[in-house]
């Protein structure tokens, strides 16, 4: 399994899986977190694994085949968690994990243009039934709309310059690949800002990916539904990877805590330690928050 699950020890500590309890991994990916839970909730505890990407469901099925019979895998959006549980007749669950990070496989093997390090088509869809692609946004949306998503979802301070350059270039030819877009971003950003800890194309690609997949809307839809399907004493663990996601989770937990519906288990977000960041650099931006349902 090439994907290294993020904050695995902390996920297990906060979910605290026990024998015969049922769980949901709302973004199952390669199945790394799910596997560790399955090692602890036997002999008859089940896990419902959800992923929007059909090929990731296939990857998880292969990686988790030793637990066949205790794993239910569904190709769907985690935003539909309540409907999925009802359809699968799972009932209330003891714990839910939502890991909002992209897997190594998505970046390196999906061929969908998630990474600016690979020359691929500008797709960025988790679900191929989705009509919207990054290529459509880049070539058909107005300069104002592109600037807005780069600023709001990418938190890109050069959103105006990048959007302007995109619309200039597309007048002469369609922008089709990740490398073409990366070169446009590079030409729009002042030289001194190209040398930093974060690659200059990161925020633009993030803004596009969030928009294509409605990621923030899906997270907002998911959180109240997740609480509904948790049993009393059940735990919800969310791992986010940028401030927009973390803010949504933080304020949802804060509001529900004030309503006495939950108890927050993490006063501050849990971060990966230095050893994990060295082993898995993508974990450096991970923030884990956890609650228990009253």
Fold of 108-213: DNA polymerase; domain 1 (1.10.150)
Residue-wise pLDDT for 72-86, tens only, equals: 999 999 999 999 999
* Cβ within 8 Å of residue 282, ≥6 positions away: 6, 101, 104
- pLDDT interval class at 1 (50, 70, 90): very low
What CA–CA distance (Å, rounded) separates 98 from 240? 8
- Give 6's pLDDT tier (boundaries 50, 70, 90): very high
Q: What residue segments make up the domains of the chain, in order of their start?
A: 8-105+215-293, 108-213
CB-CB contact of 29 with 104 (8 Å): no
| pLDDT tier for residue 105 given thresholds of 50, 70 and 90 | low
Q: How confident is the model at residue 3 (pLDDT cuts 50, 70, 90)?
A: low
The pLDDT of 49-59, averaged and rounded, is: 92
Pick from 107-111, 133-137, 280-284: least confident: 107-111
pLDDT above 90: percentage of residues in the chain: 86
Looking at the domain 8-105+215-293, which fold is it?
Rossmann fold (3.40.50)
Contacts of 122 (CB under 8 A, 6+ apart): 113, 133, 134, 135, 138, 175, 176, 177, 178, 181, 208
For residue 107, is pLDDT > 90? Answer: no
Q: What does the pLDDT look like over 112-160, one tens digit per residue?
A: 999 999 999 999 999 889 999 999 999 999 999 999 999 999 999 999 9
Say whether pLDDT at 2 is over 60.
Answer: no
Q: Which residue has the tokens 């082993």?
A: 279
């Amino acid at each position: 399994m090439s994907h290294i699950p993020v904050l695995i020890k902390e996920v297990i500590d906060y979910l605290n899986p026990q024998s015969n309890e049922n769980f949901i991994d709302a973004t199952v990916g390669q199945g790394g977190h799910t596997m560790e839970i399955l090692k602890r909730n036997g002999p008859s505890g089940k896990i419902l694994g959800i992923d929007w990407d059909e090929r990731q469901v296939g990857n998880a099925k292969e990686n988790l085949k030793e637990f066949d019979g205790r794993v239910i895998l569904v190709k769907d959006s985690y935003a539909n968690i309540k409907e999925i549980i009802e359809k699968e007749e799972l009932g209330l669950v003891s714990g839910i994990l939502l890991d909002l990070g992209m897997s190594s496989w998505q970046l390196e093997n999906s061929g969908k243009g998630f990474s600016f390090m690979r020359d691929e088509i500008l797709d960025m869809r988790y679900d191929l039934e989705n009509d919207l692609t990054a290529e459509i946004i880049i070539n058909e949306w107005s300069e104002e709309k592109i600037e807005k998503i780069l600023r709001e979802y990418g938190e890109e301070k050069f959103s105006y310059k990048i959007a302007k350059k995109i619309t200039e270039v597309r007048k002469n030819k369609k922008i089709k690949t990740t490398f073409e877009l990366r070169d446009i971003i590079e030409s729009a950003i002042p030289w001194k800002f190209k040398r930093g800890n974060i690659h200059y194309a990161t925020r633009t690609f993030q803004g596009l990916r969030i928009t294509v997949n409605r990621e923030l809307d899906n997270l907002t839809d998911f959180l109240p539904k997740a609480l509904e399907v948790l049993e009393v004493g059940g735990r919800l663990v969310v791992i986010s990877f940028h401030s927009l996601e973390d803010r949504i989770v933080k304020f949802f937990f804060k509001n529900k805590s004030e309503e006495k519906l939950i108890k927050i288990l993490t006063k501050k977000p849990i971060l990966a330690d230095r050893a994990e960041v060295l082993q898995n650099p993508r974990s450096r931006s991970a923030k884990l928050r956890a609650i228990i349902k009253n």
